[in-house]
Amino acid sequence: MDPSEFPFDIEAYKRQSQIEEKYIINRFRERRNKIEEDYPRRNKRKYIKRDHVAGNQRLIDDYFA
């Protein structure tokens, strides 16, 4: 296959792939936002402050017991 027979513009390919990627990503982002608006979460996540140092110490104590 002779490269001169089939001209390929890498810059045009990159531009086209970026446009397609942006379109697909934006479409899914809009769809996700619409779903979240139509069906709001029942409760927000509650983050509990955990004592990781004490938990790690218990793991170490159990391992070496």
Q: Structural domain tally of the chain?
A: 1
pLDDT score, position 56:
81
The answer to the question of residue 21 being in a domain is: yes
DSSP-assigned states of every residue in 2-65:
-TTTS---HHHHHHHHHHHHHHHHHHHHHHHHHHHHHS--SS---PPP--HHHHHHHHHHHHH-
pLDDT score, position 57:
85
Q: Residue 22's domain spans which residues?
A: 9-42
**Positions in the chain whose pLDDT score sits under 50:** none
Task: Please give the Cα distance from 53 to 5 (Å, whole number).
Answer: 66
pLDDT score, position 43:
67
The answer to the question of residue 62 being in a domain is: no
